[in-house]
Structure 1
Amino acid sequence: MEASHVAAICTLVVLLLAAETQVSVAVTCSPTQLSSCVSAITSSTPPSRLCCSKIKEQKPCLCQYLRNPSLRKFINTPNARRVASTCGTPFPKC
């Protein structure tokens, strides 16, 4: 194979890999996004699909919420940990 063909193939592979890379989208931290989880956190009801999707979406914000004294008392509870675990989102270690 000619050097120009090898270079073209390498360039194509790099472009394909770059296209496959997921673009990181900034999350807007808003504790109200977790409102669908209130019943699961305050009782023993299982979390809804919406709750789980919101927990996964807000995961980058959880440490920020834990540092807020007004929110910490709701988020740093056994039920909140259970909900996060049920949703497959590890509880953050901040």
Structure 2
Amino acid sequence: ANPCNPAQLTPCAGPALFGGAVPPACCAQLRAQQGCLCGYARSPNYGSYIRSPNAARLFAICNLPMPRCR
């Protein structure tokens, strides 16, 4: 099964764009989809979320490494 499903990251969208509280569901999905994040970063639809200034804060709050995309 392909773990990459950007729709599952919906709980992260608000905090990624506007800041605010990060729900546990967001951290769970970021953790499950870590291998997918660079693909999303290159996507015209989702790249702005991954590259947003608040994205680093999400990863820090979730205790996850920021994806290093080449």
TM-score bracket for the superposition, by shorter chain length: 0.7 to 0.9
How many residues end up aligned between the 2 structures?
69
**Residues 40-55 of structure 1: matches in 2 within 5 Å?**
40-55=15-30
- Gap regions ≥5 residues in structure 1: 1-25
Q: Output the TM-score relative to the length of structure 2.
A: 0.86
SS in 2 for 1:89: coil
Higher helix share: 1
Displaced runs of 4 or more, over 2 A: none
The alignment status of 1:34 with 2:1, answered yes or no, reads no
**For the Cα contact (< 8 Å) 1:37–1:48, is it kept in 2?**
yes
The alignment status of 1:86 with 2:54, answered yes or no, reads no
Q: Output the TM-score relative to the length of structure 1.
A: 0.66
CA RMSD of aligned residues (A): 1.3
Give the fraction of aligned pairs with identical amino acids, expressed as a percent: 35
The alignment status of 1:76 with 2:54, answered yes or no, reads no
SS in 2 for 1:65: helix
Q: Provide the residue aligned with 1:16 in structure 2.
A: none
Given the alignment, which residue of 38, 43, 62 partners 1:63? 38
What is the distance in 1 between the residues matched to 2:32 and 2:23? 14
- Gap regions ≥5 residues in structure 2: none
In terms of Rg, which structure is larger?
Answer: 1
